[in-house]
Each structure stands twice: as C-alpha cells, then as structure tokens.
Structure 1
Amino acid sequence: MRASLGSIVALIAICLLALIGLALTGGGIWLLTLGGSWYYLVCGIAFLATAALVFLRRPEALIVFALVVVGTLIWALYEVGFDWWPLAARGGLVFLLGLLLLTPWVTRRLGTRNVADALDGRDRRPTVTHGAGAALSAALGIALVVAVSSWFSDQHNIVGSLPGPRAEAPTYDIPDGEWHAYGRTQAGQRYSPLAQITPANVGDLEEAWHYHTGDESQPGDPTETTFQVTPLKIGDRLFLCTPHQNVIAVNATTGEEIWRYDPQIQGELALQHLTCRGLSYQPPGDATAAAAPTAVPDAAATEAPDAATPAGATPPAAAADTEQAGEGEAPAATATELSQGGNLTAPQTGGEAETDQPVSPEASAGQPVAATTSSRDTATCDAKLFMPTADARVIALDPETGAVCGNFGNGTGQIDLWQRMPNVNPGSYYSTSPVIVAGNLIIVGGTVLDNVSTSEASGVIRAFDIATAELVWAWDSGNPDQTAPLPEGQTYTPNSPNSWSISAADEELGLVYVPLGNEPPDQWGPDRSEAVERFSSSVVALDIATGEVRWVYQTVHHDLWDFDVPSQPSLLDITVGGESVPVLVQPTKQGEVFVLDRRTGEPVLPVIEKPAPGGAVEPDFTAPTQPVSALSFDPQALRESDMWGATMLDQLACRIAFRGYKYEGRYTPPSLEGTLVYPGNFGVFNWGSVAVDPVRQVMFSTPAYLAFVSTLVPRDDETSLVVNDEQPEGALPALNENFGAPYAVELAPFTSWLGLPCQAPPWGYVAGADLTTGEIVWMHKNGTVRDQSPIPVPFKMGVPDLGGPVMTAGGVAFISGTLDYYVRGYDVTTGKELWKARLPAGGQATPMSYEGADGRQYILVAAGGHGSLGTKRGDSVIAYALPDRSAEADAE
C-alpha cells in the first residue's frame, strides 16, 4: 500500500511539474516575443527538467528545484521588493511544489540503496535534512523567511498627521444637527459640525435602529440598479428615496416609517441606471429670499389635518378634480404620459424598523396626516421636497404629509423634463442626482445614455422657479450663449455634454458649479463642435440668476476615456499666503484634485500641462497635453512587473495581455487592438466625491485604482449589434453599440481568466490631504476581499470604494462603500481605522450624520448594494449611535 501511494504521489508531482513547465515554456516564449521577461521561459525549462529527473528517480531533481526557488526569490525581490501579495503570486506555487517534492513519498523514490549501504545501515536517498533534500529545504526556508518578513513591510503606506484647526467654523442657515442637502449644504462638504463621536469613543458605536424599505430587485431592472441614497435630516425626520423611486419619511430617532410616496413610474424605460442618490429641500418661508430653516415636526405629534403644521405651512389642500398638463411648454402627448400623480400610502409591511430600544407611544403613533392611496393627493406647500424620477420628472412633495404640492407645476406638482428635448426616448434621460436649490430656483441636470447612439437627448442644465415651476433659464453646452427659454418649435442640442452628478452652489457669489461629462460616444470624438471641445469634462460656473457662463475649467482635453467629472465640487475657504481664499475642490476620475478659486476658476494649487500620448484612430486625434494638479492621486504608469494573479500562471497570462495591449501611460487613446486605460473609467474618484473639513482645511478621500481595457470595434452599419450578443429585453438599451458612429466599443476591467484584477493590489485606499499645500499626508490601503472571493477570507488587500465619505467635527470620518460589507470609522488625523460594523448588503452610498431628538449623534448608512459591482442587494437603512446612558440610568 505504501509503495502504491508513493507511486501515485510521485506521478502527481511529475505530471504537475511537466504540465506547468509546458505552460511556462510556451507562455514564456510568447512573452519574450512581445519584449517581456525571460524568467518564465527559464523557469518552465527548469520545471520540465525537474519532472524528467523525478521520473528517472534522480535526486538531482531536488537540486534543480532548489535553484528554481532561489532564482524565483531573487527575481521577485528585484521586481517588487518586500511586497507580500506580488511576492506570493510569483513564489506561492513554486513553494508548494517544493514542499510536495520533499514529501517522503517522493524522496524515497529518488536514488537507489545499494548492497553496501544496506549492510552498514546507511540510506543515501535524500530527505528533508539530508543530501539534495537539505538543499531544497534550505531554499524553501529562505523563501519562507522573506515571505514572513514582507508581512511587516507595507510599501503602499504613507504615514503622517493632518494639521489641527486653522479657522473658525463657518456658519450656515441650518441647525448643526441637521442635513439639508446631499452634501449637508449646497457647498458639498460632507462635513458635520457635530462632535459627540470622537476617536476616543467611536469604538462604542452600536446599532440604534434598522429600517427596511421593502424595495427589492424586480424583473426588467437594468444591471446598474443601485441604492446610493444619502438621506436628508430635517426636524426629527429623515427623507430618503429608493432605487425604484419611492420617497419615504422616517422618524430620525426611532426609524419608524411616517409616510411613503410612490411616483408611479411609467412602464418600460430605456434605462442604463436605476437609482436615486437623494432628495432636495426648500425650507418654508418666502422662496425668493434666503429663508432660515424651520424644523418639520414629526407626524407622530398629530393625526388630524388641522393639527400642528410646520411654521408657515398650511394643511393639505383638497385634491384637484381634473388632470392638468405639466409644464406649459411641454408637448401634449409627453405631458399626458408623464404627469402621473403617484400614490401616497401609510407605513407598509416591509417598511419596518428594527430596534432594541423601546419606542414611545408618541413615536409609534406616527401615521401620515393624509395617508390615502389616491394618485391626486395634493397639498399647498410652503416647504418642499424635490424628487427626480426615472421617467424624467421632478416632483415636489410636502415634507409634512408626503402629498404632491398642488401649488407647483400648474397644479400637477411636477416638472416634465422632456420639454424641448430632442430624441425623446423615455428612460434615456433623467436626473439620477438631487437637484440644486439656490434662492428662488431649482437647478436641474441629468444623465443621458452613454455609448448607445449618437442620437441622444441633450445635456442641458435648466433652472425653474421654485414656487411655480416655470422655466427661468436653460444653459446648453452645445449652444452656450443662449440661456433664455427657447422659442416655440426649437429643441436643445442633441448629445451635448451632460451633468449626471451633483452640483454645488455659492449663493453669496451667485454661482452654481456644474460638473460636466462628455458627448456620447465617449471614446470617439473627431466631429465634436467647438463648444463641446470647450465644455466636455469640465466644471462650469454658471450665474444662478441668468445661467450665463462665468468661468469654465476643463479637467481633460478632448476626452476619449469617459473621464467625465463625476464628483460634486466641495466649497470651502482655505488660507493661502496668509489670506483666506474661497476655493472649489474638484476630484476627477483620472485622480487629479483641482483646487480652484471659485470666484474666477483660476488654480490655487499649481496646475501644469504635461505631454500626453498620441496615436488615436484617424480621423480622431488626441490633445498634445493634459492638466496635472499639485494635488494628484494619479498612480505611476503600469509596468509588466505590476501584473498579478493568484498563481504564476495567471500572472503570466496577464503579462502577455499587458504586452499585447496598446499602453503608453495615462491618456493612451482607444485603439482597434485594445488600449489599457489606467486609471480606468471606474474612476480614482466617482460620484461619492470627497469630504472636506472647513476648520482644519483638509480633505478625506477614498481613491480607487482599477485598470480597464477599451477596444474600438468597427461597425458595418448603424443598426446591427456588434458588441452585444442579443438585444436586451424590453426597452433596456444595448450598451456600447454607439449606433450612428463608425465604431462600437468593448469596455471591460483588466482581469485574468480567474476574474481577478491583472494589476497587483492594493486597489483601494483611504487618504488625507492638506488642501493648503496639496500634500497627501497619509494614505492607507483599505478594505478586505471577504465578500469578493469564493472563500470568505478577510485579507486586507485594499479594495475600491464606491460612495463618498463623511467627516465630523469630532475628528472621525466614516465610509461604507468598500466592496466588503462594512461601515468603518477612521481617525481623521492619522487615517487609522478605529471602528467597523458588518452590513447586511453592499453599502455603496455616502453616509451622513445628524442629531436625534434624544440628543445623540447618529451615523446613518444605506446598505442596498450595487448591480454592476455585483455587491449583495438589500433594502437596509441603519443608524448607529453611542449607548444611551440616560436610558441606562433611568433603567437603574
């Protein structure tokens, strides 16, 4: 039996060595022809030699393999130094095969035991400590020592401490404990002035309540169905929206649902994305003045329409008897299709809060003031919530009751965003992000389909009167000098650059700051107009009153990489040269963070133009230079040695692929053979943006690094599918076909056959930067692969984050968007992770912080997953707080 087992193990070793040797030899020859490393060919030959020697029962097999181990170690250290994960990819398989060769079943078959040896009791066959086996043992021991040493060396870590306070805390017209806009204020800082949670006590955070929206995946949803909401907190209520566009009010202290509104989205839509990132809020009072906010009392305080209402508000008005069209300018057919009123309902099953703390009778009595199922429930609203919908409406709701505002939009309570639009195709245009409320206007942008056709809607930015919903101005980047409402019969410019992300506003300067994307298709641009070339992938400052351009700053010239500006600008004042300067901080997909004077658009931190690669497919072209900021998270250009894999085999495949693609560094143009785009269009920064502390004048960010491959595919005609196998079901669009352009595009992450990134980790970080100097003070890899690997191992490799951070005056920052399902708290000063809590689904949203009626500071997270990232879907909204010591004292 022993002989049989030994023969089987030896045969396995021979087969493994031979098969791997053949793969390494063949792949090594291929790599060498592409100008790559010689290591794999030499290693493959050594594997084959070892297999042959084991087959011939020669102990020299162990000597040869010891040389493989030592040679691999020297080569790996030369390429990557003491960096554990790249070392493991190079040497892991070699180390395991070395252990296999040292097993007794193999060593007993190497060499022979002659008669003289038998007579004097000696056995000259190799063992772990004898002969050729000792040499291999020594080589493996050295490799193990180096591997263990690398565990204590983090070559990707920047250690430092951010400075303390430098300025007085700015004052805003909202209470410290509230959150009135996506970034708390229209300045987009994602900064809470609350300081109850500190580095010293953040470890005590516990779940206070857990609410389920009941919004689940549905048949016909697009792949990118996402729960990205950052709720608003007004009075003692939270207001949020779900992927399928329900609007919900819950008690901020208990998590109890108060009311729910369903906008009744029309049927099949040509959606690329289905999401809602948040709502917008107009405080009660004179809409033409900067009104101070008034808290909205909880509906739990009343159950009758004539009970207490917010200051300045009126009870719900009677429902209108007849349907009315939306905007007066809208074509009759479109207005009829899109002016559905929606349903207002009482709390439902599936919209429940889970909490360990007792709920007071007052809180549990929270029934909506006008809880009916009629699609015509209306109110005369003073304060308003604005909800953008997937069928291109903006609906105004009463924060008190959830009823549609009948005194808005000619009685419909909504705006039809298809008015004056070219290429009307429901679902192909809508506002995925909350609108901006500035003075007496709401300012609305929207997303158009990327890479579907050259006949898409316009990216026009429009401002509507906040009281009447009448169009005040419209800025179309394809026709930038015409901002007055268009005459009858005219439409906006098709395919013009759009703003799908979140804008910011400075009402004192009278400016709204709009991040712009690109003209579709993203990867092909020889026919772009002069205006498109000027405004694509830029941040534009528009006059709030007129929509006229005050300044524009372009972050990418002639963008061919989908490097649209994805992030909300953050506005704050910083001290430069002893003077306070009002700045705009603009993160970008390519990793630049531009710090601009928000009055003029001039760089405050230096920006230089660097030469960029050429060689675009004719008749397209590239810009000769591209801007690079002093504050830059642009990674070093990829090299062959940066390729990675679970084993040396898939790493070899990634090296071959790397050598086969066109790549000359960042801004290498798309090509017919395939171009490596790094950073990829996932973005170093995306819609989650960054958080800034206006007191310390620092930034907390979550840079991510993933390479993509972009390949242009010639089209024979304007209708055939080229990169999709079949037309998606229903009205969903065939993405990346670029109907009407000469090329479709294939876009995919740069991964191995195992689905792992071909570039070595880390792929995601947390980072802190000083905005006054542009210095990245600290930077640490962040997150584990627990929820992205077949075996749930919590290796801290650094994974991307999609969703933004929030900072607090207590010196703690929070994020929840990493690809593992955790919300984490960090020391802002050093970036040290201080606390984490497990989430039930992907948390790809931006957290927020507020003060509850019980006086506690809460951290709120939406955990519902992200379709295109493949994170687990869910419907959770979870609040965390420090333990309620007063409740504990009362209990005693």
Structure 2
Amino acid sequence: MRGSLRWPGEFQITSAPAIIGDTIVTGTSIGDNLRTDAPKGTVFAFDARTGETRWTFDPLSGSPDIRGGHSNVWSTIAVDEKRQLVIIPTSSPSPDYYGGNRPGDNLYANSVVALNGDTGTVAWHFQTVHHDVWDYDLPAQPGLYQVWRDGKAHDVVAQVTKTGLIFVLDRDTGQPFLPIEERAVPQGAEQGELLSPTQPFPTATPAVVPDRLDPSDAFGITLWDKLACKAQLESLRADGLFTPPTIQGTLSLPFTGGGANWGSAAYDPRRNLLVINMNNIGQYMRLQPNITDSVKADKISDHDEFAPMEGAPYGMSRAMLASPLGLPCTPPPWGVLAGIDLDSGKIIWRQTLGTTEDVAPGGLALKLGTPALGGPIVTAGGLIFIAGTADNYLRAFNVATGRELWKGRLPAGGQATPMSYVWKGRQYVVIAAGGASNVGSKLGDNLVAFALPE
C-alpha cells in the first residue's frame, strides 16, 4: 500500500471472500479518484487453517512501469474448482478519469482474469476496456454457466458490465465464445491523455441499454423540464460510448452505476438464457484543470460530486443528469430487465423494471422503471425473482417471456439479491430489505421471506 490511508474507509473489503479448497481469496475496495498514487488493488489468498498468505496478485503487475494504483477487485470473485481457477473481475486504475501517467492498455485492469488457485499465476485474461478513463469497472461476479450449442455443452464465463455490453468467454482459454471485435472509438482527449484507438465490442449481442442520446429526445414531465435537460445535453461532448473526459463536459451513458452493477446476472440452463437487470441513466463528468499536488483531500463525498485526482493535471466533477424536478434526463425506462440467449447472443425479451411509487409525489406509480442495485435469481419452476429497485417490492417474472407475474411489498428497499430455499417440501424466497441511500429507497433492517404456492 502506498503511503498511509487518508480516512478509514479509503481501503476496505466490500464482497464476501471466495473459497477454493482450503484457500480463502479476497479482493479489496479502494476509494476512487482521490489520488494517482493510490493503494494497490492486490488480491490476497490465505491458508484457511493457518491464516498465512499463500499468494498475492497485483492486477497492475502486467504494467510495472505505470504510475497508479487500484485496479482492485471490489465485486464478487468466482471459483471453478474443477479447473482450479479463481476468476476475478478487476476495476480501473487510479485515477479513474485521467490516464496520462499510465500509458498503454493497462494490462489486467478492467479484465476478467483467471488465476491458478494454487499459485495465483495468470491462466488467461480478457480485457473489456482498454486504458479505462470512464470508471467502467467490472462491477459484477463473472457468471460460470454451461451453454448448449449443437447438442454439446460448453463451459463459459459471462461477464456483464457497466457499459451495457455482455462478454461471453470460453472458460478454458478466455477466448470469445460469442464473437467480439475491436472498433474505433472517439479520440481527441485533453492534453496529456493517451487513449486507446479501439475498444472491444460483442458483435452478436447489442448493448442492453443505449449509449447515445440526442438532446431533442431529452425527457421531461413538463416542457420546462424537457428544455432544461435538452440544454444540459447540448452543452456536453457526446460521441457515444467511450467519448473521452473533457473540460467542456462529457456525457457518460450508461453512467458509472451501470448498465449492470453489483447484483450480477442469473441463468436458466434449460433455455441458455442469461437474465440481467441494467440501469439506463445518464451522467455528466467534467475535468477541472489546474489541480496540483498542493491540493489535498481527506475524503471524497459519498456521491463523488468532486474529486481532486491528486497527481494528475485535472480534478473531476460528475453528477446524474437530472431535470429541475429531479427526474433523469434520459428517456425511460430507467431500469431494464432482459433475457439474452447465450448460444446466439440475441436479446430474447426486454422488460421495464420498477415504478415511481416510492419516489414520486403522492405515490404516483408510473411504470418508468428505476435504477436497481440487486440482482435476479432464476428458479427451476421458470420464475425470476428480483428486487433492487427504488420502489419497495420483490417481483416475479416469467423467465421465458419476461412478463411480470407478481410483486410483494417490502418494508424497506430491497437493494440485494434474493435467495431461495426449500423447507419441508415448500419453496421460499427470502431477501434482505435494508434500503440504500444512493437510490433513494427507504432504509430498514428487515429479512423478509415469501412462500410460493403449494
């Protein structure tokens, strides 16, 4: 770790450890954008019996000459015991929005990396974002699924991302199972930046949520609202996904909360169907010049509205693009649930997720969707259960069609992934309803179980 921590929460653990054999593996979560010379995002493996360190892996070990830290694993690690693989989703190097001190692709950052569980050495890796300057961390656990194609089973890794793209890889090699190509992306960054000329895009599966927005399509409940959003959008550089950060201001769509986020995806092996919820919200980000190392910060606000990025020639500000009434400027639905066939890559269905009931004045329940933090589960009976939205419900959907079948009221926000179990022949679904301030849901301390019909 480089230097002392600025505040106790700058370096922490936010996901449960993984276990492979008698080895415990854990990543870390490190506060974004405070400084260039940040703590390293080292993955640690410990002997479960003695507590001794067995191995470590630094995701920036593939780029030893760069200045920066992070590239940590704050989300959930996956384990393939048969192959003795620990599969990690890594994040962006520090600081998020300036990479002039870290030229090149920044190997192993923003990557699915398969490590040997005994030694921590790299078995294979696939990078989803080259030289990330957008805070497009891999936010969710790599999904280990078996896909049937032409009568044969194929073991894959499916990685959902903040960008709304889904990468499906062969689990033995890390090579694309569904095709991926490098495409040219916007250039013309601010002075000192060294962008990658291309980025990887899946070719069989389009982005689940949009990455472009014409200002004339800005959302607004009133004309005043719509015009205010339109003016904000017209002030920003917006050339689609991977538009570089600018002093002018850049549209980030999807925003840094996704697309996909922490809750990851679910899978129905009988249908080869990946089920994923994604957010459809826009954000502005703006570089602030003339920030120097003499500017020191002791913490970053919870919403990261401003961050100094010490050691870089710019600071950063960002916020959700919202109207004067506080509604997103992006057209709804603001939350989406989708089913993707992992054999063909086609999006089979797409459904609006959530209503405005618990966020709109007077409890007006408009079916506009809401951002969701919390993933889905799929049952053998063909049901999807998911909460996560800003309205306080657990919902059930038909896995084949995406049609909403039921919803159950929760005493607080269900920003978690539910689980299911069977007791004395009856199936139950249980969820932690604790709420989350960052999506505006009601806070609580509840564990709620629902029984499925007998």
The correspondence for 2:399, drawn from 815, 819, 828, is 828
Q: Secondary structure at the match of 1:427?
A: helix
Q: Which of 416, 423, 445 is the aligned partner of 2:3?
A: 423
Does the C-alpha gap of structure 1 residues 635 and 839 become closer, same or farther in structure 2, counting only changes over 3 Å?
Answer: same
Conserved 8 A contact 1:452-1:733: no
Computing the radius of gyration from Cα coordinates, the structure with the larger value is 1
The amino acid of 2:20's aligned partner reads: A
Any conservation in 2 of the 1:428–1:456 contact (CA below 8 Å)? Answer: no
CA offsets, 1:43-80, max 9 Å, x none?
xxxxxxxxxxxxxxxxxxxxxxxxxxxxxxxxxxxxxx
Instruction: Give me the whole-angstrom Cα distance separating, in 1, the residues matched to 2:186 and 2:158.
Output: 27
User: 1:429 Cα deviation (Å)?
Assistant: 1.2
* Residue matched to 1:523: 97
For residue 535 of structure 1, report the CA deviation from its aligned partner: 1.5
Bigger RCO (CA 8 Å, 6+ sep): 1
Matches within 5 A, 1:91-490: 421-425=1-5, 426-480=8-62
Percent of aligned pairs with the same amino acid: 42
Counterpart in 2 of 1:548? 121
Corresponding residue for 1:842?
Answer: 413
Matches within 5 A, 1:586-597: 586-597=159-170
SS in 1 for 2:231: helix
TM-score by length of 1: 0.49
- Aligned pair in 2 of structure 1 residues 432, 735: CA closer, same or farther (>3 Å)? farther
After TM superposition, the score normalised by the length of structure 2 is 0.94
Task: Give, in angstroms, the shift of residue 636 of structure 1.
Answer: 5.4
Displacement after TM superposition at 1:728 (Å): 7.5
For the residue of structure 2 that corresponds to 1:671, the secondary structure is coil
1:866 matched to 2:444:
no
Alignment partner, residue 142 of structure 2: 569
1:677 match = 252
Which residue in the other structure is 1:857 paired with? 427
List per-residue Cα deviations over 1:614-661 (Å, max 9, x = no partner): 111111032212111122324252112320112112211211221111
Paired with 1:715 and 1:533, the residues of 2 have a C-alpha distance of: 25
Matched residues in 2 for 1:744 and 1:786: separation?
A: 37
Q: What SS does the aligned partner of 2:378 have?
A: strand
1:754 is aligned to 2:306: no
Point out 4+ residue stretches in structure 1 off by more than 3 angstroms: 726-729, 731-735
- The answer to whether the 8 Å contact 2:62/2:106 transfers is no
**How many residues are matched?**
448
> Which residue in the other structure is 1:718 paired with?
293
Once the two structures are superposed, residues 519-538 of structure 1 have per-residue CA deviations (whole angstroms, 9 ceiling, x without a partner) of: 121000011165x7112211
Whether 1:508 and 2:82 are equivalent positions in the alignment is: yes
Q: Is the 8 A contact 1:423 1:494 kept in 2?
A: no
- Once the two structures are TM-superposed, the CA of residue 732 in structure 1 deviates from its matched residue by 12
Asked if 2 retains the 8 angstrom alpha-carbon contact of 1:539 and 1:554, the reply is: yes
Unaligned 5+ segments in structure 2 are none
Counterpart in the other structure of 2:307: 736
What secondary structure sits across from 1:657 in the alignment?
A: helix
What displacement does 1:549 show? 0.7
Over 3 Å counting, the alpha-carbon distance change for 1:777 and 1:727 in structure 2 is closer
Give CA-to-partner distance per residue, 1:254-302, whole Å, 9 cap, x none.
xxxxxxxxxxxxxxxxxxxxxxxxxxxxxxxxxxxxxxxxxxxxxxxxx
1:748–1:734 distance in 2 versus 1, CA, 3 Å: closer
Residue 878 (structure 1) aligns with? 448
The structure where helix makes up a greater share of residues is 1
- Per the alignment, in what secondary structure is the counterpart of residue 512 of structure 1? strand
Change (3 A) 1:533 1:820: same
Unaligned runs of 5+ in 1: 1-420, 483-492, 886-892
Q: Deviations over 1:742-764 (max 9, x none)?
A: 21111100111221111211111
1:824–1:833: 8 Å Cα contact kept in structure 2?
yes
Distance 1:727 1:558, change over 3 A: closer
Q: Equivalent residue of 2:87, what SS?
A: strand
Aligned to 1:560: 133
Are positions 1:614 and 2:182 aligned together?
A: no
Equivalent residue letter for 2:74: W
Contact 1:698 1:768 in 2 (8 A): yes
- For 2:270, the equivalent position in structure 1 comes to 695
Q: Any idea what SS the aligned residue of 1:791 has?
A: helix
What SS does the aligned partner of 1:654 have? helix
Equivalents in 2 of 1:818, 1:846: separation in Å?
Answer: 11
Paired residue type of 1:846: T
Match of 2:242 in 1: 667
Shift of 1:577: 3.8
Structure having the larger proportion of residues in strand: 2
Deviation track 1:128-176 (CA, whole Å, cap 9, x = no partner) reads xxxxxxxxxxxxxxxxxxxxxxxxxxxxxxxxxxxxxxxxxxxxxxxxx
CA contact (8 A) 1:498 1:518 kept: yes
Distance in 2 (CA, whole Å) between partners of 1:674 and 1:529 is 23
C-alpha distance in 1 between matches for 2:184 and 2:290? 31
Asked whether the 8 Å contact 1:542–1:551 carries over to 2, the reply is: yes
Assess, with a 3 A threshold, how the Cα gap between structure 1 residues 754 and 608 changes in structure 2: closer, same or farther: same
Match of 1:116 in 2: none
Greater Cα offset, 810-819 or 695-704: 695-704
**Residue 560 to residue 728, structure 1, CA distance change in 2 (3 Å):** closer
The whole-number CA distance in structure 2 between the counterparts of 1:695 and 1:749 is 39
What is the CA distance between 1:696 and its match in structure 2?
2.8
Secondary structure (helix, strand or coil) at the match of 1:868 reads helix
User: Which amino acid letter does the alignment assign opposite residue 422 of structure 1?
Assistant: R
> How much is the aligned-residue C-alpha RMSD, in angstroms?
2.3
Kept after mapping to 1: 8 A contact 2:185/2:199: yes
Alignment check: 8 A CA contact 1:842 1:863 kept: yes
